Amino acid sequence: MGFHTIQENEYPKLLKEIGKDAPKQLYYKGVWDEAIFQNCLAVVGSRHMTIYGKQVVERIVSEVAAAGVTIVSGFMYGVDAEAHKTALSVGGRTIAVMPCGIDLIHPEHQQDLYMEILKNKGLVVSEYEGSTQPALWIYPRRNRIVAGLSRAALIIEAGEKSGSLITANLAKKFKRKVFVVPGPITSENSKGIMQLIKEGAEAINSADDILSIFGGRTSPKIKGEVRPRDIVEIKIIDQLRREALSIDIMSRNLGMPVAKMGTILSMMQLRGQIKQEGNKYYVN
Amino acid sequence: MLIKVQSAANRGLETIGVDVEVNVANRGLPGFDIVGLPDKEVQESRERVKTAILSSRIEFPQKKITVNLAPADVPKEGSAYDLPIAVGILAALTNCPIPERSLFFGELSLSGDLRHTKGALLLALFAKEKGYKSVFVPKDSANEAAIVKGVNVYPVQNLQQLLAHFAERECILPLIYEPVKEVLPDDLTEFDMKDVLGQEQAKRAMEIAAAGGHNILLVGNPGAGKTMLARALPGILPPLNEIESLEATKIHSAAGVIPPGGALLVTRQFRSPHHTASPVGLIGGGTRPHPGEISLAHRGVLFLDEFNEFPRSVLEALRQPLEDGVVMISRSQERVLYPARFMLVASANPCPCGYLNHPKKACICSVQQIKKYQKRISGPLLDRIDLHIDVPPVDVRELSENQKASEFLEPSKVIKERVMFARKVQQTRFAEDSIQVNAEMKNSHIKKYCPMKKEVEQILQQAAIKFQLSARSYLKMIKVARTIADLEKAPEIEVQHIAEALQYRAKAYEGV
């Protein structure tokens, strides 16, 4: 563990820019090097992440992180944790800003993720020392560090009164770019997002939109895609590209007994063509 | 004058002979005593016997009456000694002969009539085994005893009738067994599988579970139809075969839950205890070990709705019976072994609020709450459940209009036929083993009956890595695949059977 005060040169420049709001000092765990603060993107969202939210994180954050952008988030479960995880899974770097003293892990059950972050050249930071307990009033203060460290913020799934909206508004206040990923308007998790869009946030559907402000370009992805084997598999993939579906609905749509459909889906899953999350399938 | 009447005592499913010795002495103070470790019920029998004899218009002697229940060191319980005691006293009074090699068994009412008494079947089985010629039991319990062939079962209505029979004035005729058509309670017959809209995969899983006797866990949002699916299960289960039927009826006779005039159980039991059930209620026990729900569900279904609302201690107690198919209840006084080979059907919500992964309603639980909730069911217990199935909520209105959906609706009768076929295949397969269904297979059986081609095994190994199957899950997949193959009349397990079995691996509660 170590710390850097605002007077020191090591203190992230971007965070200093936010003026009197900037924390006086940052405690950290992991290896502090300035490169990690170069290109930061804040990724925050709902604690109650849906399957759609997870897909979005996997699709967009993985590309952004793979391009060398550091993913900053608040280590909360849901979208935050998923963003950290996804960054690590593509070999990217990530910063977790804690809502508690630097010696605590909150939420505690994500200890494994905490260790993964530290192991993979990531950073855990907090403005509080020792074992200060997490508290409701600390969350918004933590959010200002998340927003302050980043050149832009990406909000994925946010309810009406989500804490992610605080992060978005802070980012706006600090003159940082705010990106959002639109969701289905029927979802509770889209309400906050819609609000942000109305207030002028940029709605995006691919990583390129984000990478353009970091001056980077995404390298064309070489995905080891497994080709569908027959007409049924093509039909299944076609359907799943549109939306995630449960086995019952798919067997109804294709007019196929559920036993046979199960066999096909298991085999496609084994080959890595599709994935199962909750009770629904979607294309990898 | 000393009279000896023979009766029997049931301890669990075992029966031992009891000699009821009645002495009516002319000397000594008038009184009526019972010795030989009688418990409260047997002590009270004095009043019943006395009044019943008086009600039968026979004067009760003002003499010293001593009754001994031998062997004297075995605790005697229950009301079944009323009849042998009364017979002994009457014989002493009237000098009428008592038929030889006969057992007497039954509770008296104050009017002199005999009441339905639990355990009549066990008594008859004991009589046959020990070579007794006849048994005298209450009329209401006679049909149950008459299941046993080779023993004369005399249905006795009241003491007077019995005396007339002894005096050969008016003979009681031995009862010939009459099978009774069982009437299922309404809530069990009201659901047919075709009434369950959607849920194609869940229904398929129920079919597999019924065919192979597999335990099944249904996880889904409130109102998705978990309970309805479970309640439709009896409709696709095959009837009990002869051996199973006798096993189950014995337990029910011992528990005293066979109704008056009842007979062999032919349909499989469907027991659904509420989640406030105590460990003793579920497993069995008490100072005089009584069969619990798991034994009453023997060869049938034990349905535990709201599975993770059951106290952990109760659920964990299920582990051993689930594995062994019997439960040994040990108390300081006695040890009783009850069979408990049941099919466990459990239903649970995915989280405390119930709406995790619901398409319309948001779940309000935190990750920790969900973890804590799912952790209530331990890994070892989940490991003993072969089929795990999601029951997602369905849009009933849309489904009832959906042409394709209604094409898939199969009535329970059709499914039952397939299940019965698969059961027959299993019966032939396990003819030389002591098991009945695929779910009971142990490792040695799997080795013997589930040979797989190389490519099939490869797929399974691939899946084991991809889905992180434990060693036990791996074997579960083979057992389930065996049942799927049986349903399809395939002699060997093929790739498609394994692939389908993988659909039913643990998902929702995985990693707990």
* Mean predicted confidence (pLDDT) in B37-45: 90
- What integer pLDDT is reported at residue B509 of this predicted model? 53
Q: Do B408 and A258 touch (CB under 8 A)?
A: yes
- What integer pLDDT is reported at residue A215 of this predicted model? 76
Beta-bridge partner residues of B104: B136
A81, closest residue in chain B (CA to CA): B367
Q: Shortest CA distance to B144 belongs to which of B243, B240, B260, B242?
A: B260
Give the pLDDT confidence of A23-55 residue by residue, as tens digits. 999 999 998 988 899 899 999 999 988 888 998
Q: Is the pLDDT of residue A108 over 50?
A: yes
Q: Is the pLDDT of residue B510 over 60?
A: no
Alpha-carbon gap, residue A57 to A51, rounded angstroms? 10
- What integer pLDDT is reported at residue B512 of this predicted model? 32
Contacts of A247 in chain B (CB under 8 A): 200-201, 503
Q: Do B200 and A258 touch (CB under 8 A)?
A: yes
The Cα angle at residue A83 between residues A184 and B359, in degrees rounded to 5: 30
Size of interface A-B (CB pairs under 8 A): 85
Q: Is the pLDDT of residue A221 over 60?
A: no
Tokens of A42: 């804040």
Q: Does domain A231-283 have CATH number 1.10.10?
A: yes
* Mean predicted confidence (pLDDT) in A186-204: 92
Contacts of A276 in chain B (CB under 8 A): 507
The alpha carbon of residue B265 is apart from the nearest alpha carbon of chain A, in Å, by 33
Q: Shortest CA distance to B486 belongs to which of B418, B431, B433, B434?
A: B418
Q: What residues in chain B have their Cβ under 8 A from chain A's Cβ atoms?
A: 198-201, 203-204, 356-357, 360, 362-364, 366-368, 371, 390, 392, 394, 402, 404-405, 407-408, 459, 462-463, 466, 484, 495-496, 499-500, 502-503, 507
3 state SS of B298: coil
How much is the mean pLDDT over chain B?
90
Q: Shortest CA distance to A266 belongs to which of B237, B368, B503?
A: B503
Q: Is the pLDDT of residue A137 over 60?
A: yes
Q: Higher confidence at residue A109 or residue B396?
A: A109
CATH number of A2-214: 3.40.50.450
Q: Do A258 and B204 touch (CB under 8 A)?
A: yes
3 state SS of A156: strand
Domains of chain B: 2-166 (3.30.230.10), 187-426 (3.40.50.300)
Selecting from B371, B408, B503 the residue whose C-beta is nearest the C-beta of A262 gives: B503
| pLDDT tier at B348, thresholds 50, 70, 90 | very high
The alpha carbon of residue B199 is apart from the nearest alpha carbon of chain A, in Å, by 6
Selecting from A107, A251, A269 the residue whose C-beta is nearest the C-beta of B200 gives: A251
B484, closest residue in chain A (CA to CA): A259
Percent with pLDDT over 90 in chain B: 63
Selected residue of A77, A253, A258, A264 to mutate for chain B interface (largest B Cβ count, 10 A): A258
B395, closest residue in chain A (CA to CA): A249
Q: Is the pLDDT of residue A222 over 60?
A: no
| pLDDT tier at B183, thresholds 50, 70, 90 | low
- What integer pLDDT is reported at residue A139 of this predicted model? 93
Q: Do A248 and B201 touch (CB under 8 A)?
A: yes
Selecting from A247, A257, A267 the residue whose C-beta is nearest the C-beta of B499 gives: A267
| pLDDT tier at A224, thresholds 50, 70, 90 | low
3-state secondary structure B60-125: CCCCEEEEEEECCCCCECCCCCHHHHHHHHHHHHHCCCCCCCEEECCEECCCCEEECCCCHHHHHH
> What residues of chain A, 155 to 174, have a C-beta less than 8 Å from chain B?
159
- What integer pLDDT is reported at residue B189 of this predicted model? 63
β pairing state of B335-339 and B326-330: antiparallel
Selecting from B392, B404, B484 the residue whose C-beta is nearest the C-beta of A279 gives: B392
Q: What is the DSSP string of B328-347?
A: EEE-SS-EEEEE---EEEEE
Element (DSSP H or E) covering residue A65: helix A62-66
Burial class (CB within 10 angstroms; exposed 0-12, middle 13-18, buried 19+) of B454: exposed
Q: Is the pLDDT of residue B204 over 90?
A: yes
* Mean predicted confidence (pLDDT) in A152-180: 93
Kindly state whether A133 is in contact with chain B, defined as any CB-CB distance less than 8 angstroms: no
Selecting from A159, A246, A265 the residue whose C-beta is nearest the C-beta of B392 gives: A246
The alpha carbon of residue B435 is apart from the nearest alpha carbon of chain A, in Å, by 27
Kindly state whether A214 is in contact with chain B, defined as any CB-CB distance less than 8 angstroms: no
The alpha carbon of residue A277 is apart from the nearest alpha carbon of chain B, in Å, by 9
Selecting from B368, B462, B484 the residue whose C-beta is nearest the C-beta of A270 gives: B462
The alpha carbon of residue A110 is apart from the nearest alpha carbon of chain B, in Å, by 10
- What integer pLDDT is reported at residue B356 of this predicted model? 86
Going A104 to A109 to A111 to A114, the CA torsion angle's sign is negative
Identify the DSSP state of B373: H
Q: Is the pLDDT of residue B161 over 50?
A: yes
Alpha-carbon gap, residue B14 to B218, rounded angstroms? 37
Tokens of B83: 């009849």
Alpha-carbon gap, residue A4 to A27, rounded angstroms? 7
The Cα angle at residue B9 between residues B3 and B15, in degrees rounded to 5: 125
Q: What is the DSSP string of A9-40?
A: TTS-HHHHTTGGGS-SEEEEEE---GGGGTSE
Q: Do B500 and A266 touch (CB under 8 A)?
A: yes
Q: Do B503 and A247 touch (CB under 8 A)?
A: yes
B371, closest residue in chain A (CA to CA): A109
Q: Higher confidence at residue B302 or residue B179?
A: B302
Kindly state whether A252 is in contact with chain B, defined as any CB-CB distance less than 8 angstroms: yes
B356, closest residue in chain A (CA to CA): A278
Q: Is the pLDDT of residue B36 over 50?
A: yes
Rg of chain A (C-alpha set): 20
Kindly state whether A185 is in contact with chain B, defined as any CB-CB distance less than 8 angstroms: no
Q: Do B507 and A276 touch (CB under 8 A)?
A: yes
Q: Is the pLDDT of residue B123 over 50?
A: yes
Contacts of A188 in chain B (CB under 8 A): 362
Alpha-carbon gap, residue B108 to A136, rounded angstroms? 72
- What integer pLDDT is reported at residue B511 of this predicted model? 38
Q: Could you state, in order of their start, the residue ranges of all structural domains in chain A? A: 2-214, 231-283
Contacts of A51 in chain B (CB under 8 A): 357
Percent with pLDDT over 70 in chain B: 97
The alpha carbon of residue B188 is apart from the nearest alpha carbon of chain A, in Å, by 25
Phi, psi of A95 (to 5 degrees): -120, 130
- What integer pLDDT is reported at residue A186 of this predicted model? 87
B391, closest residue in chain A (CA to CA): A279
Tokens of B253: 């006779």
> Are B386 and B479 within 8 A, CB to CB?
yes
